[in-house]
Amino acid sequence: MALHRVARFADVSESRGLEVRIADTKIVLLRVGDQLRAYQGECPHAGAPLAEGALCHGRLICPWHKAAYRIEDGALCEPPALDSLKRYPLEVRDDEIWVDDQPLVDAHTPPADDERTFVIVGAGAAGTACAAALREKGFGGQVLLIDREVDAGYDRTVLSKFVIAGEMPPEEVPPLRDDAFYSEQRIERINGEVASLDASSKTLQLTDGRSLNYDAALLATGGKPNPLTLPGADLPQVFVLRSKDQAREILQAAKPGQRAVIIGDSFIALESASALREYGLEVTVLARHAIPFAAQFGETVGKAIRALHEANGVVFHTEGEASYIEGAENVEAVCLDNGQRLPADLVLAGIGVTPATDAFTDLPKEKDRSLKVDGAMRVIDGVWAVGDIATFPLNGQPQRIEHWRLAQQQARIAAANMLGADEHYLDVPYFWTWHFGKNYDYLGHAEAWDEVEFKGDPFHPPFIGLFGKNGVVAAAVACDEERAMALLAERMKQPLSVDEAWQLIRDLG
């Protein structure tokens, strides 16, 4: 043990963490009463400085993407992180804090003492989170992870934000887990696609003829981008964006100075508009709505985001719908039903996704082809579903929400329930979206509100806005207010009055 003096006890506030360093190692000190803890200083998900996070209800909440950790022992409580925090031994001597430069040894993989086989269909955010959670929660049986892509699960959120902006090569997209994790945790990756599921015999059939038996199955197949069905949509410069391979194809086709037309005004569509504009293309968005994201963020923030795009040269076109794509061997233009013609060298469609549930013919589906689950994420006995394919009860209403973090939250709940627990989703949906260097955070799921109030100006961040319904916070949206949103991510799990929320924000300074 090599202890290093890093701070005085009085330096550590009970309201926030203190970052210290031992050589190049960043460590965050946390204080709860007269107890101190020392953890790794950067969030294991994306490296956020945890000292800038919020402390609330015995949890440390990451400022960037709202992963949450138990202050007592650093255990992971909420994704998108998949790991608990490394903890460092410390001593207090005469008001001085001494910390070891080596973390405590992590818990080992559960022993292979369980004869059951759990199959996870889909190795994206949700599937990988479920596999990790099963081992974390002590499952020692066989875990089979079926992945239709050759590469192990990776961070899809960066594709529309950084990869097609030319800022991150496709081969550098971070994996959700490295190869060592799968081998150490005895998680068997199977490259393949499910053709059918027989719930009565608990059998999965793969398209290559293989058959897999299971004791419990998690379905996490995600969404398939809706393709354009217009004449000319089969031209090689017409794209959707969901995978690393598709991002690579877009980069191979795109050249600075070319003209790109984005069809749709979804989050993927406008993130892609920002990215391609940053890459040097002339970008036109054929939008369904004059104000983007108004349904989620309200009109003021929607107008501010459109203004940000326009200030960076993106052109919005809101009259007419795409009728056909002109061109013989290459895209030349998108032609509208009102006779207008938008010149284009490249077309990207961002018009939503459809749940990838075609293989599950025997399971009951909703009109949108999603699978209806109960509060425990269960479809039927022995089968759970999470993420983009799941319609689940939220505040008493059936909802299907296409959020990365929510899919991981649901996967951790499903993992617990596959092991016999009875956990339910009682959290606050959260997502983030990136436009021209600005990150917008959103908490909640408000379909209606009767008041909205801002601190700061959405047109000139930082700002935070609260959407109230009957005096209670229904949702919050912000840019550059990370610590406040981290605090609200925890406090909004119980009804929080608008007045109390503003007091919490003011108290943060």
311 and 336 belong to one structural domain: yes
Here the contacts of 24-30 (C-beta below 8 Å, separation 24 or greater) are 25/101, 27/88, 27/99, 28/60, 29/90, 29/97, 29/99, 30/55, 30/60, 30/71
318 and 457 belong to one structural domain: no
pLDDT of residue 107: 66
264 and 336 belong to one structural domain: yes
Rounded to the nearest integer, the mean pLDDT of the chain is 96
Give the separation between CA 61 and CA 81, rounded to whole angstroms.
Answer: 11
Give the separation between CA 361 and CA 358, rounded to whole angstroms.
Answer: 6
CATH number at residue 317: 3.50.50.60
User: Nearest 5 degrees, angle CA 265-CA 270-CA 275?
Assistant: 155
**HSE-up of 368 (CA within 13 Å, CB side)?**
19
- Cross-strand bridge partners of residue 360: none
pTM check: above 0.85: yes
CATH number at residue 20: 2.102.10.10
Report yes or no: 456 and 38 within 8 Å, Cβ to Cβ: no
Phi (first) and psi of residue 464, to 5 degrees: -140, 140
Mean pLDDT of 166-184: 95
The set of residues, in sequence order, having a beta carbon less than 8 Å from that of 509 and lying 6+ positions away, is none
Domain tally, the chain: 4
- Cross-strand bridge partners of residue 435: 438
pLDDT of residue 54: 97
pLDDT at 509 over 80: no
pLDDT per residue as tens digits for the range 84-118? 999 999 999 999 999 999 999 876 788 888 999 99
450 and 408 belong to one structural domain: no
In a domain, 105, yes or no: no
249 and 319 belong to one structural domain: yes
pLDDT of residue 32: 85
In a domain, 229, yes or no: no
Q: Domain range for residue 257?
A: 238-351
In a domain, 112, yes or no: no
Phi (first) and psi of residue 249, to 5 degrees: -65, -40
pLDDT band at 423 (very low <50, low <70, confident <90, very high): very high
179 and 215 belong to one structural domain: yes
In a domain, 231, yes or no: no
Domain endpoint, select from 389, 419, 449: 419
